[in-house]
């Protein structure tokens, strides 16, 4: 009998060299991303009773990427009840924007106010008309809003 495939077939010479070695460059050691982060304290404006309103994290300064630049411009939403130690004002949400970073402190400025959704739903009722008014307001500092 004639067998076209012999049992001692040889592979092509010089091919598939990486079979035994594995992937090129090896596997990178997996690092915990939180090892590269620092915690910063959030400082609310002086108009509120509570100055320390929370903490935030940010990747450490590395090369040309500076940590304070990634913190500036962030907007945080804090309950007015937490800022003034008054739970009756808990339905108001105050937006505070990070303007400056000093050491491990982020200095925040007032950026806006909003109501919680449950409070908005309780104010607007079915089958009642909603009257919206636009009023020019003058602050004690002489600014018009």
Q: Per-residue pLDDT tens for 66-124?
A: 988 999 999 999 999 999 998 899 999 999 999 999 999 999 999 999 999 998 888 88
Nearest Cα neighbor of 110 from 134, 141, 135 is 141
Q: Which residues contact 65 (CB under 8 A, 6 or more apart)?
A: 59
For 119, phi then psi, to 5°, come to -70, -40
Which of 10-24, 26-40, 55-69, 110-124 shows the lowest mean pLDDT across its residues? 10-24
> Whole-prediction pTM value?
0.66
pLDDT reported for residue 55: 94
pLDDT reported for residue 2: 58
- Mean pLDDT over all residues of the chain? 83
């Amino acid at each position: 009998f004639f067998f076209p495939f012999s049992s001692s077939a040889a592979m092509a010479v010089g091919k598939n060299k990486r079979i035994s070695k594995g992937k090129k460059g090896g596997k990178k050691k997996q690092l915990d991303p939180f090892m590269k982060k620092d915690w910063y304290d959030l400082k609310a404006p002086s108009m509120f009773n509570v100055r320390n309103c929370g903490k935030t994290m940010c990747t450490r300064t590395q090369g040309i990427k500076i940590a304070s630049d990634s913190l500036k411009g962030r907007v945080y939403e804090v309950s007015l009840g937490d800022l003034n130690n008054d739970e009756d004002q808990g339905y108001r949400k105050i937006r505070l924007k990070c303007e400056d970073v000093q050491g491990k402190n982020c200095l925040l400025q007032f950026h806006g106010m909003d109501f919680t959704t449950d409070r908005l739903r309780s104010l607007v009722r079915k089958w009642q008309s909603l009257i919206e008014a636009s009023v020019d307001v003058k602050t004690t500092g002489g600014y018009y809003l």
